[in-house]
Structure 1
Amino acid sequence: MRSPLPPDLETPAAETMSRALEDRPTRIRVDLDALSHNLDRIRRHVGVPVMGIVKANGYGHGLLRTALHLQAQGIEQLGVAFVEEGVALRRAGITVPILVLGGIFGDQVTQFLAHDLEITVSSVDKLGQVEATAAAMGRPATVHLKIDTGMERIGVHSYSAGPFIEAAVASRWCRIKGVYSHLACADDPDSPMTTLQLERFLDACRHFERLGAPMPIRHIANSGGVLHFRDTWLDMVRPGILMYGVRPDVTALATVDVRPAMSLLSKVIYFKVVKAGNPVSYGATWAPEYDTRVVTIPIGYGDGYPRALSSRGEVLVRGRRFPIVGRVCMDQLMVDIGGYSAWNEDEAVLVGTQGAERISMEALAARAGMIPYELLVGLTDRIPRTYVGGRSRS
């Protein structure tokens, strides 16, 4: 099934290209039942509401389809990076609360209010901009206050949060729904940074008690926090990569039973015998020591498959694991199948399972010298997304 485009991208040219890509042999298959399973297991694990993070095209899984499916599963909240992502979700029929996690410009506030998007307020100045716009429009703004506990990205430093929180509590047009921070080192279960950040965050939150104000929803746990740090779960968690069945790192503990939702698939498009000593691909960096069989797969770095996997990556064909040889090209790569046989249109698995063999996103990223996040979000829209499963929660 074709992944829908945001309405403002449904131009004739974009629509024509999207339909043309439907028949491309290279494709991403998203298992929506795996997504349901992962959400269920995370909920059972933490026992608090979940904000599902669907930014960056749903971590490569498709922004609209994943969000619609999570809404059908009764997810409590969604999170995106930019206002444009939130607007696209509203236009697609998403009605659950949506928090925009990124920083904002003052002239964007009207878009937030017009589309009922929750705003990250990260300074007293930003609070004033939101307050003024909300008053002018006669529409209260729903906000989450951002506290910086160690990322040094956006947000008021925890040690100077008092005046910020006091101003927010006094606001007439800003309704404080949440207060949050972001963990910098939660992917590492042994890092002391997470405990320090949690202490700073909870200390900042005590300003609400001192002011006699209701405590908003406190959220700080990302995927690493969900996996490794029970004390960070508080009132809500914000799993991103974990919700899609991928651990943040190969060393992350598997404390939650999640299943990969994404498979990256293609097909054999060409077969040939390469004689000993004849180099393969750009730069002539690899040549076989003996006559061998090489197949070509129509995927490359133009699709987001890393060039760093040149002569390092692996592909599954006919249930066996074979090495990529030579440099990954923009649109194609070559695989040495040795003395085995393969036919044109045989399925090639670049991420996923075939027979008893499996290539995980975590292992592939590590081999490329990347993190799984990079690999997932780098897979381009040139690869069509197809979806399987997806029953709504009864």
Structure 2
Amino acid sequence: MHGSDAFDAAASFRPEANDRPTRIRVDLDALSHNFHALQAHAGVPVMGIVKANAYGHGLVPVARHLQAQGIGQLGVALVEEGIALRRAGVTVPILVMGGIHAPQVGQFLACDLEVTVSSIAKLRQVEQAAASLGRQAVIHLKVDTGMERIGVHSENAGPLIEAAVASRWCTVKGIYSHLACSDDPASPMTHEQRHRFLDACRHFDRIGAPMPLRHLANSGGVLHFPDTCLDMVRPGIALYGVMPDPASRATVALKPALSLVSQVVYFKVVKAGRTVSYGATWTAPADTRVVTVPIGYGDGYPRSLSSRGEVLVRGQRRPIIGRVCMDQFMVDLGPGGTAYNEDEVVLIGAQGDDAISCEAVAHAAGTIPYEILTGLNARIPREYIGGASSGGPAA
């Protein structure tokens, strides 16, 4: 085959998304369990946070599944995420929690997305867009109680509340703040933030306006501070079965929804004294058996796991040796270890009687579980098991 014939043959080949030996498995039944368990524990409705590609689990499939499970509200960070969900047929209310950019406000309204309003100036931008489109805007007021990120300071929230309540073009559905230290159940800051937030909310009573939905609790709040649950909660990482911090307590029985798996693609014996990978940072102390795994930092698997991380091969923990490459890394089986091409390698998840948690990977990498999950990029195909998507195609 030559020239254009070869090109035509390559162009006609359409591999399935799950042909790559490296993949993410998302257990939708685990996601369902976590949603219902967190809602029961909080005793109020859940806003499922699906920003950042649903913490690496897949924005659209996760949102569709939560909608099928009866969730009443979703939260995203960017208007683009909300638009993607609307285009995918997700119909439940969606709050965009990030700061708004004036030229984008019309997109919020056109796609029926709820808007975070964090100042009177932002309120005026929303009113102007709503008036020009002739559409009512649904808004949530953002109060800063200690993050110093976005939101009016709690002690200065009165004028914003009054202006929002009086607005002709805005309907105040909610008021919220974000907890800075709730991942640590011993931190006193959460109680102070709750006090500041509730004091700001009392301004609705002072002016005789109906109280909107008050939402304050994130994952840490739900797990550790039940008095922050108020009218609705916003669990993020806990929804996916991962603890937000080493100090967190497992007050709710959660199930990890994500596994990261690959396969052995090469086996060799590395002689004593030979080095492995870039920089020659690891030297074989004796003849040892080494396998290559086709995933690397180009997929979002941290380079900081070089000679620090572990994987499961044939039910045994094996160390990563040498530097993690962009697309591959090497694993030491030891002098007597055995593995064959296409054997499964588990980077996050269970195999046999052992398991490697996302939290353990984050600890080894010197980071937090949030960064591990959200760093797993689109180069890795996702496949969904359980739920209504059992047996369906990978995404």
Match in the other structure for 1:281: 277
Deviations 1:195-250 (A, max 9, x none): 11100000000000001000000001000101110110000000000000111022
> SS state of the match for residue 107, structure 1?
helix
Question: Any conservation in 2 of the 1:33–1:391 contact (CA below 8 Å)?
Answer: no
Match of 2:393 in 1: none
Letter in 2 for 1:128: R
Give, in whole Å, the separation in 2 of the partners of 1:19 and 1:161.
Answer: 55
Computed over aligned residues only, the root mean square deviation of the Cα atoms, in angstroms, reads 1.4
Q: Within the alignment, does 1:295 sit opposite 2:291 as a pair?
A: yes
Does structure 2 conserve the Cα–Cα contact (< 8 Å) formed by 1:43 and 1:50? yes
| Equivalent residue, structure 1, for 2:361 | 364
Give, in whole Å, the separation in 1 of the partners of 2:14 and 2:330. Answer: 26
2:385 to 366, 381, 388: 388
Residue of structure 1 equivalent to 2:321 = 325
SS in 1 for 2:161: helix
Of the candidates 347, 351, 359, which is equivalent to residue 350 of structure 1?
A: 347
CA-to-aligned-CA distance 1:298-342 (integer Å, 9 cap, x gap): 010001110000000001000110000011010000000111110
Question: What are the Cα deviations for residues 253-284 of structure 1, in whole angstroms up to 9, with x where unaligned?
Answer: 00011100000000000000011110111111
1:118 shift after superposition: 0.2
Per-residue Cα deviation, 1:108-163 (whole angstroms, up to 9, x for no partner): 11111111000000100010111121122111000000000000000000011111
Partners of 1:17 and 1:49 lie apart in 2 by 47
1:145-199 CA-to-partner distances (Å, cap 9, x unmatched) read 0000000000000011111111111111100000000001111111111111100
Determine if contact 2:185/2:247 at 8 Å carries over to the other structure.
Answer: no
Alignment CA distance shift 1:43-1:104 (3 Å)? same
In the comparison of the two structures, how many residue pairs are matched?
A: 378
Q: Tell me how far apart the structure 2 counterparts of residues 100 and 290 of structure 1 sit (CA, whole Å).
A: 56
| % identical equivalent positions | 71
Partner Cα distance (2:352, 2:262) in 1: 16
User: For the structure 1 residues 16 and 33, does the alpha-carbon distance in structure 2 shift closer, same or farther, using more than 3 Å as the test?
Assistant: farther
User: Structure 1: how far apart are the matches of 2:338 and 2:120?
Assistant: 66
Structure-1 residue corresponding to 2:99: 103
Q: 1:215 aligns with which of 201, 211, 214?
A: 211
Matched residue of 2:34: which SS? helix
C-alpha contact (below 8 Å) 1:250/1:363 kept by paired residues = no
Q: Which segments of 5 or more consecutive residues in structure 1 lack a partner in the other structure?
A: 1-14
Secondary structure, counterpart of 2:179 in structure 1: coil
TM-score, with normalisation over the residues of structure 2? 0.94
| Partner in structure 2 of residue 141 of structure 1 | 137
Shift of 1:390: 1.0
Q: Runs of 5+ in structure 2 lacking a partner? A: 1-10, 390-395
Measured after TM superposition, the shift of residue 391 of structure 1 is: 3.6
The TM-score with structure 1 as length reference comes to 0.94
Counterpart code for 1:324: I
Partners of 2:13 and 2:164 in 1: how far apart?
A: 47
Q: Is the 8 A contact 1:221 1:232 kept in 2?
A: yes
Matched to 2:314, the amino acid is: R
